[in-house]
Structure 1
Amino acid sequence: MRIGLLGTGPWAQRVHAPALADHPEVRFAGVWGRRREAAAALADAHGTAVFDTPEALFAAVDAVAIALPPDVQAPLAIRAAEAGRHLLLDKPVALAPEEAAELLAAAERAAVVGRVFFTLRHHPTIADWIAEQAATGGWFTAHARWLGAVFTSDSPYAASPWRRAKGALWDVGPHLLSVLLPALGEVERLTAVGGAADTVHLVLRHAGGATSSAELSLSAPPAAAEVSLELRGTAGVTRLPDFPAGPRVAFGRAIDELLAEAAGAGAGAGAAGAGTGSGGAGLPPCDLAFGLRVVRLLALAEESLRTGRTVVVAD
């Protein structure tokens, strides 16, 4: 499959481009970026072409991977879908539920495959662990922490305008939701409370009565940074395992999933909102429909932050 890349920032450089270049079943067919010199440098580093417009890249590929801010990603992904190109997107797929819904509708109309990269859900060790917990069931509560030091360190993502504007809720919140939803079920009610800087505390009530809580931040002091998640239930206590393999390995799994689903779609099975699972057997796919559900929950959490009220999640 010929896959082109939209985006040239640190995430594209460190994860997307090398994973596409190294994948044995992919031809890394080119790069487009908002700064041509950056796109040319990234293309040269991986022996591929640079394109002057997104449409020129669309015409030369079968699928696009996008490593751009979500408010830039969504309209470009819609244009790519309308051009008949499969989609491998980053989380969150958009910053507004309406735009995420428009993206899903465009992919369905064009009958193209849309997949969303969630680092935890596509990491082989973590995906298998999530699938095991979903199959075990009986969990009555969970607690998670994603306390990052992006804004308090020399992280290459510290200057990201969209992260500065939207904070941990929109950056790392999708990762936690990608674990909590398959393990505990859909969210029925949620409350969000703001803390220091971009810190957010979430309390979620899931279908069936389970509850979960989470602390999210990109502004933790480096010495206080932590990523953890534990589930408690009839089977006892289980904790998110360590994941030493980096995001490049996980992105390679996301590429595998896109290839498999696109092959199925070509045979008449699967589309933007249906198909095979992500990583662990039995998990629902990280497709555009799942991406839309995550964006809706993040928008409702933002509403709860703004109003100070618990929000009921509509069907």
Structure 2
Amino acid sequence: MRVGLLGTGPWARSTHGPALAAHPGVEFTGVWGRRPEAAASVAALFGTRAYDDADALIADVDAVAVALPPAFQAPLAARAARAGRHLLLDKPLAATVEDARAVADAVDAAGVTSLVFFTLRFADGSARWIEEQAEAGRRTGGWFTGRADWYGAVFSAEASPYADSPWRREKGGLWDVGPHALSVLLPVLGDATEVRAARGPGDAVQLTLRHDSGASSTSLLTLTAPPPAAGVAVEFRGTPGVAAYPEGLTGSATDAMERAVDALLAGVPHPCDARFGLRVTEILAQAEAALD
């Protein structure tokens, strides 16, 4: 499959590019970025071609992988879908519900494959653990509560590659790491029927959900945690007992991206498609409205 990359930032260099360049089923056709010099640099790094026009790259490929801020990703993804291109997208899908819905609608109308790269849903160990908890809930009558906390230190740790990200500074942990939390909670506890949110220190948001299974969940989401406090904590409690996410289970993001590329090549429906990305965006927007 001919795949082009839209985006040239740290995530494109460290995750998308290596996975696309190494995958035996992919012809890494080229790179486009908002800055031509950055596109040339990434293209040289992976031995491919730099494009100065996004539509020209879209015209030359079967699929696009996108590593752009959500406000830029959504319109380009919708254009690529309308052109009949498969999509490997990043989270969050869009900065607004309207833009996310436009992507999902374009995917449905074109009949193309879409995947949103929620890292834990594609890393082998974590994906298997999430499915095990979902199955445990189905088998025993359900979980009582869940918790998914993401303590990022993007803006408090030294030398973070994402510290200069304008959209992360604007949207904070709710929109950057919130999708990770929701990608774990929703498949295990069910869709969110109620959304509440409160502000904490820095950019921290305390998110509380009621799920259609009857369970409730909480998430503490931040990019400004003190570095010694950074980390992830996921836990479910209920009839099956207590299930805590094991440390070190996720593996590398590049390995997870390679599994996402495998899923794209398979061309079969995946739970983390553009419709799921839209649902996550809707919940984030509800939480943001609750804060306001």
Q: TM-score range by the shorter chain?
A: over 0.9
Q: Say yes or no: does 1:190 pair with 2:198.
A: no
For 1:218, give the aligned amino acid: L
**Alignment correspondent of 2:181:** 176
Question: C-alpha separation between the residues in 1 aligned to 2:107 and 2:90?
Answer: 15
**Alignment correspondent of 1:141:** 145
Question: C-alpha separation between the residues in 2 aligned to 1:56 and 1:190?
Answer: 41
**Alignment correspondent of 2:229:** 224
Question: For 1:90-105, what aligned pairs fall within 5 Å after superposition?
Answer: 90-105=90-105
For 2:155, give the aligned amino acid: F
Question: C-alpha separation between the residues in 2 aligned to 1:229 and 1:21?
Answer: 33
Question: For 1:298-313, what aligned pairs fall within 5 Å after superposition?
Answer: 298-306=284-292
Q: 1:251 aligns with which of 234, 237, 257?
A: 257
**Range with greater deviation from structure 2 (79-88 or 236-245):** 236-245
Question: For 1:1-315, what aligned pairs fall within 5 Å after superposition?
Answer: 1-137=1-137, 138-153=142-157, 154-242=159-247, 243=249, 245-261=251-267, 264=268, 275=269, 277=270, 285-306=271-292
Residue 38 (structure 1) shift = 0.8
Deviations 1:101-138 (CA, angstroms, capped at 9, x unpaired)? 11111112222111100011111000000101101102
For 1:220, give the aligned amino acid: A
For 1:159, give the aligned amino acid: D
Residue 92 (structure 1) shift = 0.6
For 1:19, give the aligned amino acid: A
Question: C-alpha separation between the residues in 2 aligned to 1:197 and 1:46?
Answer: 38
Residue 52 (structure 1) shift = 1.1
Question: C-alpha separation between the residues in 2 aligned to 1:156 and 1:116?
Answer: 22
Deviations 1:230-252 (CA, angstroms, capped at 9, x unpaired)? 10011110111222521101111
Question: C-alpha separation between the residues in 2 aligned to 1:184 and 1:58?
Answer: 38
Secondary structure at the aligned position of 2:224 is classed as coil
For 2:228, give the aligned amino acid: A
Q: Write out the 4+ residue segments of structure 1 that deviate beyond 6 Å after TM superposition.
A: none
Question: C-alpha separation between the residues in 2 aligned to 1:110 and 1:212?
Answer: 36
Question: C-alpha separation between the residues in 1 aligned to 2:225 and 2:8?
Answer: 27
Secondary structure at the aligned position of 1:102 is classed as helix
**Contact preservation (8 Å) 2:4, 2:61:** yes
Question: C-alpha separation between the residues in 2 aligned to 1:35 and 1:147?
Answer: 31
Q: Structure 1 residues 104, 244: closer, same or farther in 2, change over 3 A? A: closer
User: CA RMSD, aligned part only?
Assistant: 0.9
Question: C-alpha separation between the residues in 2 aligned to 1:141 and 1:288?
Answer: 27
**Contact preservation (8 Å) 2:120, 2:250:** no
Secondary structure at the aligned position of 1:193 is classed as strand
For 2:173, give the aligned amino acid: A
Residue 142 (structure 1) shift = 1.1
Count of residue pairs the alignment pairs up:
286
Question: C-alpha separation between the residues in 1 aligned to 2:172 and 2:149?
Answer: 15
**Range with greater deviation from structure 2 (61-70 or 145-154):** 145-154
Secondary structure at the aligned position of 2:155 is classed as helix
Question: C-alpha separation between the residues in 2 aligned to 1:55 and 1:37?
Answer: 18
Deviations 1:178-220 (CA, angstroms, capped at 9, x unpaired)? 0000100111111100011110001111113101111111000
Q: TM-score, normalised by structure 2?
A: 0.96
Question: C-alpha separation between the residues in 2 aligned to 1:144 and 1:28?
Answer: 35
Question: C-alpha separation between the residues in 1 aligned to 2:64 and 2:12?
Answer: 13
Question: C-alpha separation between the residues in 2 aligned to 1:143 and 1:54?
Answer: 40
Deviations 1:35-56 (CA, angstroms, capped at 9, x unpaired)? 1111111111111111110111
